[in-house]
């Protein structure tokens, strides 16, 4: 198995998923804006979270489950490690 270095955004998202398992991408974005806002600067977007989750899935650090919530499908994110 090859060791892969993780970028800072991925590490932050992994930490967030560990602290809040089962949140969907939108909820993770809201939580990141609230909990990881450094000195008033916040550039967390759903797309940024989504790309980090995709990279973490590829590295088998998180898994997602597709659920229907209020008539809409969304991905809940869970930590695997």
Helix, strand, coil percentages, rounded to 5, for the chain: 45, 25, 30
pLDDT band at 15 (very low <50, low <70, confident <90, very high): very high
Which residues, including other chains, have CB under 8 Å from residue 74's CB and lie 6 or more apart?
A: 24, 25, 26, 66, 67, 68
Residue 1 in this model has a pLDDT that exceeds 60: no
The number of residues in the chain equals: 81
Structure tokens at 55: 């990279």
Residue 79 in this model has a pLDDT that exceeds 50: yes
Provide the CATH topology of domain 8-79.
Arc Repressor Mutant, subunit A (1.10.10)
The per-residue pLDDT for 20 is 97
33-78 tens-digit pLDDT: 988 876 566 689 999 999 999 999 999 999 999 999 889 899 999 9
Give the separation between CA 65 and CA 68, rounded to whole angstroms. Answer: 10
The per-residue pLDDT for 4 is 59
């Amino acid at each position: 198995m090859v060791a892969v270095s993780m970028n800072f955004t991925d590490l932050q998202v992994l930490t967030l998923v560990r602290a809040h398992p089962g949140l969907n991408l939108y909820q993770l974005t809201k939580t990141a804006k609230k909990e990881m806002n450094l000195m008033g600067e916040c550039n967390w977007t759903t797309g940024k979270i989504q790309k980090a989750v995709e990279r973490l899935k590829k590295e088998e650090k998180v898994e997602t489950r597709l659920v229907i919530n209020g008539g809409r499908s969304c991905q809940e994110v869970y930590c695997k490690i």
